[in-house]
Amino acid sequence: MGIRRLNHAVLYVRDVERSVTFYRDVLGFREVHRLPGAAFLLAPDSDNDHDLGLFQVGADAANSPAGRGAVGLYHLAWSVPTLADLADHERRLREAGALVGASDHITTKALYAHDPDGLEFEVSWLVPAQHVTTEMKSAPTTRPLNLDAEIAKYGPDLVGMA
């Protein structure tokens, strides 16, 4: 039995309305279903039933200790088709005050951000297979992302790996 992809993620959030607003306005998700204290969102180009479930646990909920003395999920990563899309997300995340980092993982160009509850996520562009060289595969490293240089190298509209 093989696993093909992640179908959806569910997050516990303090305020479902605040989180819906963030994921809608900053990342372009749209709400597809609502229950009391819960919302189900769909990513812009997704063919899933939903990609993100948000369940409200209240304003007094503690921050997640994952990674700071407790095991747990580090982050979710969503990919975008082009570097132009990644640049647009960088602008949106920066304007929202959510961007916390940007890394060049050689074959992946990644932005890191926090949602309103401090949960981390990644938005990334994956270098297409035909552009990945043996040298790139053997150089596992992380360096600061220079998005302008990557756009100059690959162009803004080259579709990355799905």
Q: What is the pLDDT of residues 74-120, one digit of tens each?
A: 999 999 999 999 999 999 999 999 999 999 999 999 999 999 999 99
Give the domain 1-59 fold: 2,3-Dihydroxybiphenyl 1,2-Dioxygenase; domain 1 (3.10.180)
Q: Provide the residue type at 30 as one letter.
A: R
User: Which CATH number is associated with domain 74-162?
Assistant: 3.30.720.110
The whole-model pTM stands at: 0.93
Tokens of 50: 């939903």
Q: Is the pLDDT of residue 1 over 80?
A: no
Residue-level pLDDT at 42: 97
